[in-house]
Amino acid sequence: MFRTCDITGFKVCLASQKLIRINAVFAVVSLLIAVLGAILLVFTRWQEVHLLSSPWYYRILTLHGLNALIFWIVFFEIAGLYFGSTVVLNTRFCSPLLGWVSFILMAGGFIMVDVMVLQGKADVLMTSYVPLKAHPLYYLGIILFAVGALLGVGLFFGNLVKAKREGNVGESLPLFTFGLMAAAIIAVMTLLSGAVVYVPTFLWSLGLIESVDSAWYRLIWWGLGHSSQQINVAAMIAIWYLTASLTVGGNSVNEKVSRIAFLLYVLFICIASAHHLLVDPAVSSTWKVWNTSYAMYLAVLASMIHAFAVPATIESAQRRKGYTNGLFEWFARAPWGNPAFSSVFLAIIGFGFIGGITGVIYGMEQTNIIVHNTMAIVGHFKGTVVLGTTLTFMGITYYIIPLIFRKKIVAFKLAKIQPWLFFFGIAILSVSMIALGMFGVPRRHWDITFSGAIFSHDFNPVIGIFWVLMVLGGVVAFLGALIWLLIVVISVFFGPAVNGPEDFQLSIAEPAPQADHGHKFIAPGTLVASLIFMAALLIFFFLNWKWLSAIWEIQ
């Protein structure tokens, strides 16, 4: 059963639309739990308030991590995979029944895990490093969720096969779906790592296996924990290209280059789970250097390629539409009133300048010594997962509401401000956390005044200002997230219906004219911005190696 979309012209499979909707709803519920947890955590880490007790701090930290990093993102990605493999390809869903089985497994696992955590039966944090032990149902919940997600990824491939058989795709997939396919391949590796690590851990929690080795656990667990963030990177960048098309009518300046960059992700990005083992026993420096650098930084190269290609796609389209003055007229005249565009552009900036730069440098073997398990790491991944992935997903939701849920966006004026609030909030929070980490403040720590301990340590008093900034950023970001959640929930459940193109508040841009825009460079503004980015990276690189050289000598 299909309907033909009166806005985009796509044939929308109704069974697929239902599955996209239900997975997206659960994604939003997960994000709501994560965001409520986040604000409690911010006010606990800030010692002036120190809101939660020690057990509840670690409990809510476990809850926040799982809901933000796993449930919100994977539910959303499954919805995205279904969209990219059916609606975009005008194809029907290969097996709606299995789609529902996948959803029920995921939802069951999600509920099981959250209930266990809130009952205090899994105070082990998201990483649950053995030999810390949680209730068996906690591990079972994660296994069910992972199996459900793996089935969902399998259905994505099934949809591609169906589309091909029915002649809906030619020789090449659209770039958006191609990017999603890269994410799906990475997802298979990631979810299998999850099965390999959690099945023995589950049996151990039941008492059927005597012990699980702690070094082995960390190695395999990060095959799930880190690689799942690499699924996000691929999915997020696929959405960046999609948004460039929808908002300014741009097409990748060179599809071959963009596709090769996705291929580099598939080949190399998963080995970077070594980032988490750089100061671990049991693995050698040779292993660390090779893996942490994604085999000579070939996956970083892929990100650098996208970092140029996505803004260049937007710039080139804008220039061909006539915005050719100076280096940045295309930028100033971009559709900033479209919340999807502003979300994505801010996500590109945040992901690159905050998440990307810190990620590359903290992920080097030796510099990791001065940041491992400090707040700087948390600051880094707020830059990648929150400013990058979450803000991107928030942005594209402004298209999903009218196109998939067929509802108008309520409080559209507020929606235009929301990405800015969220961006500046998280950016301030993230940079403050990075600064705190530089002064040695540990992550996952309830009380850095060490109450009740035999010794104490006074951190540099300058950190006081960064705690205040972190709280400030946290509150602003919380408001930004809350506005988004309210807009989405009210629009979807109580909003006026979209009955035709006249109710569509965003726009879908016409493809930009094909003709050359006459400049000898395809995207001179982007080139200048990219060079500024590289300069920032190199400055941060040398600063960190300078700081490293000031500590004790280590062999």
Range 142-181, binding another protein (CB under 8 A): 169-176
Rounded distance, CA 306 to CA 302, Å? 6
- The interface with another protein within residues 8-67 (CB under 8 A) comprises 54-55, 58
Partnered with residue 442 across adjacent β-strands are 374
Q: What is the x/- site pattern for another protein, positions 331-360, by CB under 8 A?
A: -----------------------------x
Rounded distance, CA 26 to CA 32, Å? 10
Nearer to another protein, 104 or 516 (CB): 516
Alpha helices for 69-174 (secondary structure H): 72-82, 96-118, 136-165
Options 339-347, 401-409, 428-436, 455-463: segment touching another protein (CB under 8 A): 455-463
Q: What is the DSSP letter of 452?
A: T
Indicate whether 119 belongs to the interface with another protein (CB under 8 A): no
CB of 523 to another protein, least distance (A): 6
Rounded distance, CA 113 to CA 115, Å? 6
Among 27, 117, 253, 409, binds another protein (CB under 8 A): 253
CA distances from 404 to 8, 11, 17, 157, 269 (A): 11, 12, 7, 21, 32
Identify whether the C-beta of residue 156 lies closer than 8 Å to the C-beta of residue 95.
no
CB of 446 to another protein, least distance (A): 5
Closest by CA to 519, choosing from 529, 509, 527, is 527
Options 24-32, 350-358, 379-387, 457-465: segment touching another protein (CB under 8 A): 457-465
Among 43, 254, 328, 424, binds another protein (CB under 8 A): 254
Indicate whether 327 belongs to the interface with another protein (CB under 8 A): no
Options 34-42, 146-154, 159-167, 208-216: segment touching another protein (CB under 8 A): 208-216
Rg of the chain in Å (alpha carbons) = 23
How many other C-beta atoms are found inside a 10 Å radius of the C-beta of residue 210?
6
Among 328, 412, 459, 540, binds another protein (CB under 8 A): 459
- Counting residues that bind another protein (by CB under 8 A) gives 110
Partnered with residue 4 across adjacent β-strands are 11
Options 67-75, 144-152, 342-350, 516-524: segment touching another protein (CB under 8 A): 516-524
CB of 131 to another protein, least distance (A): 5
Backbone phi, psi, residue 323, to 5°:
-85, 75
Among 305, 354, 357, 410, binds another protein (CB under 8 A): 305
Residues counted in the chain? 555
Nearer to another protein, 412 or 446 (CB): 446
Among 207, 281, 500, 518, binds another protein (CB under 8 A): 281
CB of 396 to another protein, least distance (A): 12
Identify whether the C-beta of residue 138 lies closer than 8 Å to the C-beta of residue 113.
yes
CB of 104 to another protein, least distance (A): 30
Q: What is the x/- site pattern for another protein, positions 475-494, by CB under 8 A?
A: --------------------
CB of 83 to another protein, least distance (A): 11
Indicate whether 532 belongs to the interface with another protein (CB under 8 A): no
Nearer to another protein, 451 or 499 (CB): 451
How many other C-beta atoms are found inside a 10 Å radius of the C-beta of residue 551?
9
Closest by CA to 526, choosing from 337, 347, 307, is 307
**Cα pseudo-dihedral 243, 39, 353, 384, rounded to 10:** -60
Q: What is the x/- site pattern for another protein, positions 213-252, by CB under 8 A?
A: xxx--x-------------------x--xx-xx---x-xx
Nearer to another protein, 450 or 493 (CB): 450
Indicate whether 461 belongs to the interface with another protein (CB under 8 A): no
Among 288, 320, 321, 407, binds another protein (CB under 8 A): 288
Options 29-37, 383-391, 499-507, 531-539: segment touching another protein (CB under 8 A): 531-539
Nearer to another protein, 325 or 460 (CB): 460
Rounded distance, CA 438 to CA 238, Å? 33
Handedness of CA 44, 46, 50, 51 (dihedral sign): negative
CB of 172 to another protein, least distance (A): 5
CB of 276 to another protein, least distance (A): 9
Half-sphere exposure of 356 (CA within 13 A, CB side): 26
Identify whether the C-beta of residue 355 lies closer than 8 Å to the C-beta of residue 383.
yes
Options 41-49, 66-74, 118-126, 397-405: segment touching another protein (CB under 8 A): 118-126
- The interface with another protein within residues 394-453 (CB under 8 A) comprises 438-440, 442-448, 450-453
Among 49, 104, 208, 282, binds another protein (CB under 8 A): 282
The pair of three-digit structure tokens given for residue 31, joined into one six-digit string: 């994000």
Options 123-131, 223-231, 333-341, 397-405: segment touching another protein (CB under 8 A): 123-131
- The interface with another protein within residues 357-386 (CB under 8 A) comprises 360, 364-366, 368-374
Identify whether the C-beta of residue 92 lies closer than 8 Å to the C-beta of residue 15.
yes
The pair of three-digit structure tokens given for residue 45, joined into one six-digit string: 């880490």
Options 36-44, 184-192, 276-284, 341-349: segment touching another protein (CB under 8 A): 276-284
- The interface with another protein within residues 177-206 (CB under 8 A) comprises none
Handedness of CA 403, 2, 175, 97 (dihedral sign): positive
Rounded distance, CA 143 to CA 104, Å? 13
Closest by CA to 109, choosing from 209, 240, 238, 198, is 198
Rounded distance, CA 518 to CA 321, Å? 12
Nearer to another protein, 131 or 322 (CB): 131
Cis, peptide link before residue 524, omega less than 30° from 0 = no
Nearer to another protein, 322 or 442 (CB): 442
Rounded distance, CA 123 to CA 26, Å? 24
